[in-house]
Chain A
């Protein structure tokens, strides 16, 4: 094979990989969105900007650590599986971290942060959740940010579709309404609604 032909073949290979990376992300997300189980994650939002991907609402989760079972070797930036448990209010909390893929129940495949002891002296691991941004049009993202902080902070959560360890954000809720409806109904001008405690 001549140099030029080899180069062209390698370029085709690279082009396929580039397409596969983009398409793979689309397919993975679509599968989770279409057939994943729904979980609600409680959060506290703010709004910065990303030069490439536009405006987004940065999602800070109310629960961002998971307990580590006794006897687990110390975790340090490695692949872990975190079982998802629904609490009495209908929000998601994390079960004890495991290193092998669970055979039953919903879970997230994540990379662990550092391990440390919580206030009660029990070992926990910090989690970098893969869905930390909710992208919106520039006007809406700014409005969400302004509205969220007016008249005190509003209860907010995201619904995430989870399947085979992959979670994809479905929608952002404020005061119990999808964020776009909430903004359309006047946003922060409405009185804060009580947090619903039903299952999603």
Chain B
């Protein structure tokens, strides 16, 4: 039982005894059982954190020591130094898998150690023989050999190390104009582990951390993994991705509270806000679409095709989740936050067709209206539910929009001034209407 559920049960006990549902003896037994579990789970968590950080620091220290390059040791000795830590960590991880499979601390610690020993072995062989090319070649080989470990050893820390190494590789390969399409199939290697953790301990620390790693990875990888052959396709990909994170995050959530336990929704909302602010300028809408396709053989055919799959698939998936899984009443806030998907579905082809010059200005204006609308809707939703966090989110949206437009150099001062006054008057009118309603409501309930 999770800590949260145990705490709820402990709080309920006295009420249950008073109502005669439980007798005092049973309540006492339950109290003893779950209070112990509570204290115990804290200690276990601390042991796991110590194991992971211990392994991480020792492994990193070994890598640094090897990086010094002890060239006077000679090739045979250095070969032994490269292979020995790897063999020991493999032995330890294998032993843990067979004997200590139930202990999260042992599993996470030994797996982390193995991941770093592997890096040290590859690095030292490269160093000894001056082989192994650039950093991206190193990261690629490391990622490939790490890929099955998260699932095999049931280790979330290795999953996070793997995703980091893979993202780093994609970034380094991008800089050198290399093909990164293998990013996606390789990243799928963490999926079985994520599913297993979500099934076994949805509310635990590991599940939260893993979801954070996945959310941030998807955010960065969507940019790195794109071939960028059709200008502007990224708009569709990111609108779809963030909408899917918001809708999907809400759909898989049970009753997790707090931002830390809802990483997909957090990253989706933060990402949407930044994306919409960027799209509220006309600059990103210039020269987009098939008419401006880059046509030289630097681009990979399959990767370009995959961009299109993402650009169509992600928004559709987001809409599918909204239509099929989300509950319209309970998730009305999420409905507002995926509004950019139908909007881009209409405006992107319109701007890309390039018929009229005004299309990009109208589209930028549409995103201003979207930000204002979603901001107001979020505030209203927060006010209705008495949720201060949601009210603040809505205010952040509107404040960000105001700041960006205030300093927008492309607009004339008169136009900006008038627009600000108009929106300000709108807020004041809303204020008057609401206070009237409040007064009449107070009169009706003496």
Interfacial residues, chain A to chain B (CB-CB below 8 A): 4, 7-8, 10-12, 14-15, 17-19, 21-23, 25-26, 29-30, 33, 50-56, 74, 76-77, 114, 128, 130-138, 168-169
Contacts and interface: CB of A to CB of B under 8 A. Distances in A.
Contacts of B134: 132
Contacts of B133: 128, 130, 132-133
A75 to B, nearest CB: 11
Interface stretch (B24-32, B34-42, B114-122, B201-209): B114-122
B78 to A, nearest CB: 10
Interface in B208-231: none
Interface in B89-123: 90, 93-94, 97-98, 101, 118-119, 121-123
B127 interface: yes
B267 interface: no
Contact of A26 (B69, B71, B79, B123): B79
Interface stretch (B145-153, B398-406, B438-446): B145-153
A103 B135 CA distance: 33
Contacts of A76: 297
Given A52-B67, A137-B69, A169 B130 contact: yes
Highest count of chain A CB atoms <10 Å: which of B90, B126, B128 = B126
A114 B427 CA distance: 60
B106 to A, nearest CB: 14
B71 A11 contact: no
Given A22-B122, A26-B79, A55-B69, A135 B127 contact: yes
Given A52-B138, A168-B131, A14 B149 contact: yes
A89 B132 CA distance: 29
Contacts of A50: 67, 135, 138
B148 A10 contact: yes
B130 A18 contact: no
A29 B125 CA distance: 9
Contact of B148 (A14, A29, A168, A169): A14
B131 A54 contact: no
Highest count of chain B CB atoms <10 Å: which of A17, A22, A51, A138 = A22
B365 interface: no
B298 to A, nearest CB: 8
Contacts of A132: 133-134
A19 B83 contact: yes
Contacts of B322: none
Highest count of chain B CB atoms <10 Å: which of A10, A52, A56, A134 = A52
A53 B121 contact: no
Given A12-B94, A52-B123, A53-B123, 9 more contacts: A8-B94, A11-B94, A15-B93, A18-B90, A22-B122, A22-B125, A53-B127, A54-B127, A169-B131
Contacts, number: 122
B66 interface: yes
Contact of B66 (A8, A15, A54, A114): A54
Contacts of A12: 94
A28 to B, nearest CB: 8
Interface string B58-76: 0000010011111100010
A37 B443 CA distance: 100
A132 B134 CA distance: 8
A135 B75 CA distance: 13
7 contacts: A11-B93, A21-B141, A33-B129, A50-B67, A54-B127, A56-B127, A130-B133
B86 interface: yes
A19 B97 contact: no
Contacts of B68: 54, 137-138
A50 B172 CA distance: 13
Contacts of A55: 67, 69
Contact of A19 (B87, B119, B126): B87
A31 to B, nearest CB: 11
B160 interface: no
A7 B111 CA distance: 14
B243 interface: no
Contacts of A30: 75
A22 B84 CA distance: 11
B194 interface: no
B130 A131 contact: yes
A54 B94 contact: no
Nearest to B149: A14
B82 interface: yes
A53 B94 contact: no
Contacts of A137: 68-71
Interface in B255-304: 297-298
B97 A11 contact: yes
Contacts of B101: 4
B63 A52 contact: yes
Contacts of B98: 4, 8
A14 B89 CA distance: 13
Contacts of B79: 26
B58 to A, nearest CB: 16
B118 A53 contact: no
Contacts of A15: 90, 93-94
Contacts of B66: 54
B401 to A, nearest CB: 40
A160 B58 CA distance: 35
Contacts of B69: 54-55, 135-138
A58 to B, nearest CB: 10
Nearest to A171: B130
Contact of B145 (A21, A26, A77, A138): A21
A51 B142 CA distance: 14
A168 B129 contact: yes
Contacts of B71: 135-137
A29 B123 contact: no
Highest count of chain A CB atoms <10 Å: which of B68, B69, B128, B131 = B131
